[in-house]
Structures are given as structure tokens and as C-alpha cells.
Amino acid sequence: MEETKRSIILVAFGFSLFLVILGILFTPRLKEVGVGQNEPSETTSVKVVSVEPLEEQKNVSASPDIRVVFTRNLDRGKLTIESIPEVKFQLARYDKNKYEAIFRPAKALSSGKKYTVNLKFSDQPLFLWKFTVKNFSSKDKNLASKAKKIKESIPRKTSNHVISYDAATDGFVVYINKGDYLTEKNKAEMWFRSFGISNLSALNISFIPRAAVRGDF
């Protein structure tokens, strides 16, 4: 009888020791994969580094690029933008190496309006900011799609000038390197109008003469 009790006690002790060893071996692994923990959601684990147009930026064009940089790569399919006044924004480009997303409005923004933009990830608010559109007068139809085609044709290089787009200032920049300033300015304006934009005031366009380009000032 005593022998039987001793055997039962030894078996029970051995089983308890076995459970302790299992706990030691597998607890780090369980913590590693997050079992039994409150895992942070994708939304809380990603942050916004910068946005363009900037917070409270004024004189934004009728069809700006909305540029957002994140702290890490994420699922582009879960990114959306909502705005007040309401405008549909489409994801035009996503760079997984730069953690950068570019959104463009499906239609032109309203002249002089202040927009509140709400960036969402997995339908959860991620970043909210505001900017104001410049005052302009335009009767052009499909202005947003025309501006999109212009951006897709950038950079444009000719023998005398170069045209680029800067999302930080939401502006097109024409660098005039050679030739007569007014002649090259007119050529560049004609190129913009060739996309069907009659009133260029809807866009932000800067002309930089060769003196500024070369640093002659």
C-alpha cells in the first residue's frame, strides 16, 4: 500500500515538473506571437510622418496631389480619404519603399473652399488636417483629369526650359534655362493649355528665370 502511494506521488511530481518545463520552453514563444496578449491593431502601429498640402496651407490648387508618408509599409488597399466638403479621392500611387501614398481628387476642388481631410486605415481615423483652395475662375470640364494628365507628363524637358511638379507647394515650376524669358513662358503656358485648360489660374504655376536658376543674384 505504501509502495503504491509512493508511486502515485512520484508520478504526480514528475507530471508537475513536466508542465513546469513546458511552461519555461513555450512561454517566450507565446509572448513572441502575441498569444494571450492584447495585440496592437494595425491602425495604432502605423503613424503619419508628413502630409502635403500642409496643415492649414492656403492657395492650394483645384486638383492637388495629396501626399502622405508613413512610418512603415502597409496594405495600400486599406487606405481611404474622406473630406468635408465631400470629394472622392483616389489612390494614384503607392511607393512601398518610401512608405508614401499619393491621392488625387476625382473632380476639381471648389474655389476658395476650406477642406477638412480625414485619412483612414482599415476604416479607422489615422490623420486629420485642413487646407484651403485658392480662388480661381474656370469653366473647364474634367479639370481634375486634365491636371492628372499634366502630372503624368512631368517632368517635361525642352531645349530651353524644364517643367516639374512639387507636391510640397502643390505647384508646377517652369525653370527657364535658355532663350528669351517671355517667349519660353508663353511656350510653357501653351503646353499647359494643350491639355484643355483654358484658365491657368486653377493651377499653381511658377516661372523661374535663368538668373535665379544659375544663382546670378
Q: What is the pLDDT of residues 30-50, one digit of tens each?
A: 333 333 334 445 555 889 999
Query: Does 139 map to a domain?
Result: no
Task: Look up the domain containing 22 and give its range.
Answer: 1-39
Q: Identify the pLDDT of residue 175.
A: 96
* Boundary of a domain, candidates 81, 101, 133: 133
86-113 tens-digit pLDDT: 999 999 999 999 999 999 999 999 999 9
Q: Are 95 and 165 within one domain?
A: no
- Please indicate, yes or no, whether residues 110 and 57 belong to a single structural domain of this protein: yes
Same domain for 122 and 189, yes or no, is no
| pLDDT value of residue 1 | 55
- Same domain? For 34 and 47 the reply is no
Region of 44 (left: φ > 0; alpha: ψ -120 to 50; beta: rest) is alpha
CATH number of the domain that 97 lies in? Answer: 2.60.40.3710
The per-residue pLDDT for 142 is 87
Residues 24, 54 share a domain? no
pLDDT at 29: 41
Estimate to the nearest angstrom the gap between the alpha carbon of 82 and the chain centroid.
13
Residues 8, 48: one domain?
no
pLDDT of residue 113: 95
| Listed residue (175, 120, 142) closest to 63, CA to CA | 142
- The reply to whether 170 and 113 lie within a common domain is no
* One domain for residues 33 and 90: no
Number of domains the chain contains: 3
Within-domain flag for 77: yes
pLDDT at 96: 94
Mean pLDDT of all residues belonging to the chain: 82
Q: For each of the chain's 217 residues, which pLDDT tens digit applies?
A: 555 555 555 545 555 555 445 454 444 443 333 333 344 455 558 899 999 999 999 999 999 999 999 999 999 999 999 999 999 999 999 999 999 999 999 999 999 999 999 999 999 999 999 999 999 887 778 888 999 999 999 999 999 999 999 887 889 999 999 999 999 999 999 999 999 998 898 999 999 997 654 544 3
Whether residue 53 is found in the same domain as residue 107: yes
**Confidence (pLDDT) at 121:** 94
Dihedral of the CA atoms 57, 61, 62, 65 (nearest 10)? -80
**Residue 138 maps to a domain:** no
Q: Within a domain: residue 112?
A: yes
Amino acid 206: pLDDT: 94
Question: Between β-strands 66-70 and 156-157, what pairing exists: parallel, antiparallel or unpaired?
Answer: unpaired
25 with 46, same domain: the answer is no
Which of 106, 133, 160 is where one domain is finished?
Answer: 133
